[in-house]
Amino acid sequence: MQKYFLAIILAIAVFVVIVTGPAVRLYTDLLWFRSLGYGTIFSTILITRVSIGLLLGVIFFALVYGNLWYARRIAPVSPVSIVDNELLERGFRIARRALGLLFFIGSMVVAALVGLEAATHWEKWLAFFNPTLFGSADPVFNRDIGFYVFRLPFLQYIYYWLFFALVVSTVAAAAVHYTSRAIVAFGNRLEVMPGAKAHLSVLIAAMFFLKAWGYRLDMYNLLVARGSLFDGAGYTEMYAHLPALWILLVAAVIGGILVLLGMKRRGIVYAGAGVAGLFGLSLLAGTFYPAAVQQFSVAPNELEKQTPFVERAIAATREAYGLTEVTAVPFAAEPSLTVSQIEANSGTIENIRLWDQDHLLAAYAQIQTIQQYYVFKDVDVDRYWLDSRGGSGKHYRQVWLSARELNQSLLPRQSQTWINKHLTYTHGYGFCMSPVNEVSAEGLPDFFVYDIPPKAKVEMPMEKMGVYFGESTDMYALVDTSAAEFDYPAGTETQHTTYQESGGVGIGTFFRKLLFSVRFSDLNILLNENLKPKSRVLYQREIGERVKVLFPFLELDQDPYLVTVGGNLYWMWDAYTTTSSYPYSKHVQVWSSDCNYIRNSVKLVINAYTGRVDAYVIQKPLKDPLIETYQKIFPGVFKPLSEMPEELKFHIRYPEDLFRIQTAVFSRYHMNDPTVFYNNSDLWDVPGRAELITVGGGSLPMDPYYVIMKLPDGTKEEFILMTPYIRAGKFNMVSWMCARCDEPGYGKLVLYQFPKDTNVFGPQQIAARARQDTVISEQLTLWSQQGSEVGSGNLLVIPIESSLLYVMPVYLQSTSTKIPELKRVIVVLGNKVAMAQTLGEALAAVVGSPVATAPSSGTQPPASGKPKLQGALPGLPAARVSEEVTRMVNQAVSQHTKAQEAQRNGDWAGYGEQMKALKQTLKDLQSKAK
């Protein structure tokens, strides 16, 4: 009996899934949007999609079926000889009715498909009816930019939609007229019955008139067309294409009139003349004439002809990409630094990034996952004010963070049960934090926050450390149930918890259980006995999916980053508004599409415990009409930045993807002079990745990187995002650009340009020099022979005062353990190259004098309490030594470096002198150690 009962339940479930699946999905989506407070987005999009789908579907049906019905209505009566038999007459009537029903059903099906397709254009519809003025007009038609961004895309869609509907209607009507013998071919002559001719003439004339409107829209599209020299209308477009479009517009109107005049005349001469005339003119005026102008007028005098249009393209592109306010500052790029300059920039030195993302993530995965089911998906860089060791207040520190997420697929096979996946192992726990530059004695990361439950070496509040929503969390979870929910491992014991928030959707009733059983195609939800009246279901927990479902009209940065504030964990994510309809602006490929306008107008904050999503609008440094339109469309959805908590606002940063796009565009569009722009005589490029092992960096461009530093003209350290520029086709640097991330200068772009008569080595050249250094080369060869994998982090260019310091970490990785260890640091300053165990030693070698450094934070967790970070330059030495010993060590490094340099130059006398001095220094150091 129980088997039959289960079979009946299973059959009902299958039926429900097949029949009501889409409705259930729609309703549970509504519940999900409402649970997050974004029901407005769901209802607005749904109502708009249904409205536009029904409206255009009904119009399409009316056009197609109406023309089919009219064509059948005016069809000539069949000869009597065909229907003189009563039986044949009855069959003929049945066939006509069946054919009419077929036309009706066919028109309904096609109209439904057209309506579904039209519903996907809901965003164009809403933007059309909620435009925002840009406050600037295009230089050709003097229309506000908002017309091209909000109006033109929808008008273009309506034009193509109407043309398609008319073509289908005309073809369908012609087919009916032909089968009913209203259109008959006699040899080379075509006879059309007057009624059919009038019907088809009206349809064809409508297409002519519609085509005239299309030519008018094409005039506006000239301003957003792609070009080889620049995007937008150039000389040929303005003086050949534009007049041609006016000619074709008039020709299309005349063609439509000719078709209508031909209704009362025999034959199709008028209609044929209209079609042939328009086709001929489109070839002559629309194709051959512009090609001739380009070939014989523009090409021989391109610079002169295109100069005013190049100026338009430069101005529009800079405006569209937020590059109008770039501040250019001269930078001397001097080849040396003094000890006093380094000490004056200690805040910059102590935040030089030695751990790169890939190697650090590998280290996290090996030493901090704790259990096999935990994963670190990514590490994110940020800045915090942290206590200093010497008790001298807080220091501005750059750190790496990563959330410890739980991946149910990594549970032991015997633990891969439904209960474990959805009720027990529901979330990750805690995070790791490590400074960007500190290294343990073993060459491993030195942690500020580590282990489970999290332990901290710095003052860091920790309350709700459960990671229910993250970058790897993709399974739905049932919380607040009677089942024990795993929180984290505690030695040999297991710590359990109960979800304490109201996130997710209630699932305590039988109806809700049934709904989510259908949505997830999982009967266990309906049958499980652990669910209580207050139980909730958390789904769409992967933050990428979560945000894209909530805000399908926004583009997202590739990298959300973790923030800890007030004992809670948050994901912060930069979102963009984009369009490809900005006149004269350069198109670039962004994500899966292209655009020629972008603004970072939305900062998203996702609570890692509750899943709550807040969207804050930031109109700094530039205003964005697109986000203002979205605020009209979805009132109450976006919050002003002033409502963001100050603790979170502190962690806002300039987004990498936006900066990457801006620097790529600016590499060419920094040229103001049209002549220089045309000749590409000052074209820049972002350098390729510079690594020690793969000299040249391959084809991938160097990623922008965050740095805490004092700008050359600044008074204090600040968090910036920067990238160097090289001359296109060369490897030497010409400038570097930064985006400021801290207030009050947030969003300001600064360009530091080198003297044109100064040759400055670029990152790839520096990597090559380091590779060719005999000391470094010998050491790398020795490590490789010992069976270790040698790798390097990306070379970083660190501006200090008016000089450039190049820093590259070197890692060793065992082929068995796969744990990267930071063993050496390469520093290059001017013509000096040094590799040492610590950054401080390498700095001392290239500066030529000892550099005062401070001890690191140590390698072992404290026995009790939370010690404060000490010293001005943490992480530079590897152990605690006195100032005198530090001075002697730096002196020894300097002497060894000078000896190696003398050896390379063939200065054997200098080599002997330095080696003798080194020997004495080592003896003195040995005596100190005793």
DSSP one-letter string for 555-587: EE-S--EEEEETEEEEEEEEEEEEES--TTPPP
- pLDDT greater than 70 at residue 90: no
DSSP one-letter string for 231-279: SS--HHIIIIIHHHHHHHHHHHHHHHHHHHHGGGSSSSHHHHHHHHHHH
- Give the pLDDT score at 221: 96
Q: In this predicted model, what pLDDT tens digit does every residue of 454-471 receive, in sequence order?
A: 999 998 999 999 999 999
| % of the chain residues with pLDDT over 70 | 87
- pLDDT greater than 70 at residue 825: yes
Confidence of residue 701 (pLDDT cuts 50, 70, 90): confident
Instruction: Please tell me the pTM assigned to this model.
Output: 0.86
DSSP-derived 3-state class of residue 781: helix
- pLDDT greater than 90 at residue 794: no
- pLDDT greater than 50 at residue 872: no
- pLDDT greater than 70 at residue 869: no
Confidence of residue 178 (pLDDT cuts 50, 70, 90): confident
Say which residue the tokens 């204090």 belong to: 716
**Mean per-residue pLDDT, 465-487:** 94
Cα 896 from Cα 615, distance rounded (Å): 56
Residues near 283 by Cβ (< 8 Å), separated by ≥ 6? Answer: none
- Give the pLDDT score at 392: 59
- Give the pLDDT score at 92: 55
Confidence of residue 875 (pLDDT cuts 50, 70, 90): very low
Cα three-residue angle 641-642-643, rounded to 5 degrees: 90
Q: In this predicted model, what pLDDT tens digit does every residue of 619-652 receive, in sequence order?
A: 887 899 999 999 999 999 999 999 999 999 999 9
- Give the pLDDT score at 240: 95
List b or e across 887-909, with b for residues whose CB sees 16 or more CB atoms inside 10 angstroms. bbbbbbbbbbbbbbbbbeeeeee
- Give the pLDDT score at 400: 96
Confidence of residue 871 (pLDDT cuts 50, 70, 90): very low
Average pLDDT score, the chain: 87
Q: Which residue has the higher pLDDT, 122 or 2?
A: 122
Q: In this predicted model, what pLDDT tens digit does every residue of 181-208 receive, in sequence order?
A: 777 877 667 777 888 889 999 999 999 9
- pLDDT greater than 90 at residue 921: no
- Give the pLDDT score at 695: 45
